[in-house]
Structure 1
């Protein structure tokens, strides 16, 4: 097993392009790291340069890692090699952590490996992986000049509002997470006539669009379509991948993204699992 250095991370990013869309989450992390976005992760592979498994894991030497939820992501073309790495020392199983965006077909193996280590696991969340391979496929909604003038980006004065309304936020750790995302990644919002955001969308540190939210009193105006379209164009112009994860039971968001031109590999699902809770 090998921890990748700066030059090797650049090479690995290029390799992962060949495996999109399934490699999107790890590709997104590497895209972010390679553009000097703050990170608490290190990246390891089974072998180099011809790797079959690549894992993003918390960097034990990074003091900032204590401020955030511990998260692990991986991409694998060989489940036997993946199992071997997870059984050995690719992941620290002692803290509470998440494995997110993994292939749903790996769930039984992940549960088995964790059980063999006497580590408990909590049910998974199943999600669709939606992406926009060609910006020309984006179906842009009509935006009048008044609404267009109210499209902006989030800033640090908005962290508390976003954190309070985020389903996984509302606490100090959520506040730090949202602050990091707003400070370092593209976002898009729609302001009211007082200059306060009423609808917004952010980019996670693995470069997926998310945290889409509209205040209840401003819903039904098509703001979500405008935000997704606007941020998609911005991401494409800046070289970011354009993709998102949508929970399987969230049919409204799934329809929203697909109606705007996003597609998916219908044979593939990703999963989030929680360990050592």
Structure 2
């Protein structure tokens, strides 16, 4: 019997840069697709491979990207498309065997044309859309000058280490069984940054596996001291030094975070949403 090729064709790491070029033509909407490939390539070069895989519908870059980003028990499918026409992407999603639609699936930072695609195919792949969580997107252009940051004398800025994981996980509102595994990965890849007061961690932020700022948090007793702003500027400088755009998502309604990004000079651009799917019982 001839093996029928799957509608989603695996894209090798050597060809990710072609897909990144496609996303660059669709800026700023294509930033998430571009940046996740950038970050994952760096991690692979440093030998942090946890199974992130990239596919294109029928092998065509312009028809979009389907990436499997499995984080322990967390099954994330990244869907992005550099064009408005998502018909090929939809066709591929309906027939592929690469995705296990019966699992609980999260589709992160999906632009509006992707959300519409998911709505169109939900019945075909036998899933219910449980929740669509809209988010604001904020971007600081890589051409921006670095911030002039002066930290108070008892405060230092530095990398998180494994001993901080327990604290970070315990305060994360979205923690799930296995999220410590996720924070371990981010700490190992030197992606966690914090402000330390006399060596104790008081405020932190991560550059996650998609290259976006996330999990920003300041301990209750240390709020209203502008630590969030100092931390945001310090971590932005790390990326700006590497000539990288700095970008972040903030759930709609989280006014304090949105105000902070605006205050520091980030531009708000088209919103995205997180889409939660659940397989219908057979």
Normalised TM-score (structure 2): 0.86
Runs of 4+ in 1 over 6 A off after TM superposition: none
More helix by share: 1
Q: C-alpha displacement at 1:197, in angstroms?
A: 0.3
Matches within 5 A, 1:125-274: 125-136=133-144, 140=147, 143-144=150-151, 146=153, 149-169=155-175, 171-193=176-198, 195-265=199-269, 268-274=270-276
1:120-163 deviation line (CA, Å, top 9, x unaligned): 2211110111111144356x46524515x521211110000000
- CA-CA distance at 1:49 after TM superposition: 5.9
Name which of 12, 36, 40 aligns with 1:33: 40
**Structure 2 unpaired stretches of 5+:** 1-7
Distance 2:86 2:13 in 1: 26
Q: Distance in 2 between matches of 1:41 and 1:199?
A: 29
Question: For residues 23-102 of structure 1, what are the structure 2 equivalents within 5 Å?
Answer: 23-35=30-42, 36=44, 37-48=48-59, 50-58=61-69, 65=70, 67-76=72-81, 77=83, 78-89=85-96, 91-102=99-110
Stretch of structure 1 that moved more, 202-211 or 12-21? 12-21
Cα distance in 2 for partners of 1:55, 1:134 equals 26
Task: Give, in angstroms, the shift of residue 11 of structure 1.
Answer: 2.6
Aligned residues: 265
For the 8 Å contact 1:181–1:202, the answer to whether it is kept is yes
Q: Secondary structure at the match of 1:115?
A: coil
CA distance in 1, matches of 2:73, 2:39: 17
Q: Deviations over 1:228-256 (max 9, x none)?
A: 11111101223543101111111111110
| TM norm structure 1 | 0.87
Per-residue deviation, residues 10-50 of structure 1 (Å, max 9, x unmatched)? 33223322323212222222112211143422111125565
- Give deviations 1:148-181, integer Å, cap 9, x for gaps: x521211110000000011111x44111111111
Deviates more, 1:236-245 or 1:174-183: 236-245
CA distance in 1, matches of 2:245, 2:23: 12
Matched residue of 2:126: which SS? coil
Q: Is the 8 A contact 1:187 1:231 kept in 2?
A: no
Unaligned runs of 5+ in 1: 59-64
Rate the CA distance shift 1:175–1:50 in 2: closer, same or farther, 3 A. closer
**What CA RMSD, in Å, does the superposition of the two structures yield over aligned residues?**
2.2
Cα 1:179–1:118, aligned 2, differ >3 Å: closer, same or farther?
same
The aligned residue for residue 5 of structure 2 is: none
